[in-house]
Amino acid sequence: MDQYTLKREETLLLVIDIQDRLARVMPDREEVIRNNRILLQTARQLAFPLLVTEQYPKGLGPTVEELSEWIRPEELYTKMSFTACTEQVSEALGRLGRKKILMSGMETHVCVFQTARDLLGAGYQVFLVRDAVTSRTRDNYLNGLDLIQSMGGVITNTETVVFDLLKVSGTPEFKALSALIK
């Protein structure tokens, strides 16, 4: 059951390309940004690492303002490839030594899919947060989810992730994070 279990000491959050110009055309923009904010706050509260990518920021703009306050400059990586598994990101993943990768971002069937494929191929466990990813069309979104699941990725959701990482109620961490879920 380890392949379905998140532990904060084994987990890393990878947020892919939630950028201004891209986010504007997403039908569920607000929900996806809200859930990514929860994931970022969870990483901060539970002290596990995160990495964020931006695809060609000159053209697509920076990470959306609603998320940027939770991201440190050293956690941000720019890329031109669709996969987030660039040389720099791969080096950071190796240095951080986490094997369970929570994935979120845009678009599910392109950058998120290609990154999941590369991570799975490199021996990482991928947990795709389905309510924190999106595509311009529902068909593309669903196709991305299906592809990632068929390759061995675990499809999950924000609330399941938060409570799996917390493990117990009654702690200060529980109080802080459960308030975000309401």
- Active-site residue numbers? 17, 79, 111
Question: Cα–Cα distance between 154 and 142 in angstroms, integer?
Answer: 14
Question: Cα–Cα distance between 169 and 155 in angstroms, integer?
Answer: 24
Tokens standing for residue 162 = 């938060």
The amino acid occupying position 6 is L
Start-end of H helices in 47-75: 57-60, 65-68
8 Å CB contact between 18 and 56 = no
